[in-house]
């Protein structure tokens, strides 16, 4: 067989093509976007971030209370605000059928663990 300056047997070309096919990386997974579930997915993401921030604020409030850098009144206000936020997130999850806010981040692990 001959193509321009390349000469060889058909079996050589077939062998080369076989090696090229075997070395191809697998196709990346395709994302199937369902317009009906996009809104719920976005809501789950936003609520997950809100829950993460609430937990971080709660830990910071506990550190400040332990260090004695807040008054009892400030501590009470922070506690009530964080509790109300937690309740609102729970209500939104229930209303929208969201069971779990702990997103899987792949090799990084779970968001809220």
| Domain annotation covers residue 16 | no
Q: Domain limits at 79?
A: 43-113
Q: How confident is the model over 33-92, as pLDDT tens digits?
A: 677 778 888 899 999 999 999 999 999 999 999 999 999 999 999 999 999 999 999 999
| Domain annotation covers residue 28 | no
| Domain annotation covers residue 110 | yes
| Domain annotation covers residue 33 | no
| Domain annotation covers residue 20 | no
Give the model's pLDDT for residue 38.
84
| Domain annotation covers residue 105 | yes
pLDDT band at 111 (very low <50, low <70, confident <90, very high): confident
Indicate the pTM of the whole model. 0.65
| Domain annotation covers residue 36 | no
| 98 CB-contact burial (10 Å; exposed 0-12 / middle 13-18 / buried 19+) | middle
Least Cα distance to 51 among 1, 3, 100 occurs for: 100
| Domain annotation covers residue 81 | yes
Total number of domains in the chain: 1
Q: How far apart are the C-alpha atoms of 13 and 19, rounded to whole Å? A: 10
Q: How far apart are the C-alpha atoms of 82 and 71, rounded to whole Å? A: 17
């Amino acid at each position: 067989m001959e193509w321009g300056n390349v000469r060889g047997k058909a079996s050589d070309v077939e062998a080369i093509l076989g090696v090229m096919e075997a070395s191809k990386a697998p196709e990346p997974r395709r994302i199937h976007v369902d317009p009906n579930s996009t809104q719920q997915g976005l809501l789950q993401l936003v609520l997950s971030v809100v829950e993460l921030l609430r937990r971080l604020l709660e830990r910071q409030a506990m550190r400040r209370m332990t260090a004695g850098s807040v008054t009892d009144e400030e501590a009470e206000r922070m506690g009530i605000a964080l509790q109300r936020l937690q309740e609102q997130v729970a209500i939104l999850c229930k209303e929208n059928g969201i069971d779990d806010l702990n997103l899987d981040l792949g090799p990084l692990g779970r968001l809220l663990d």
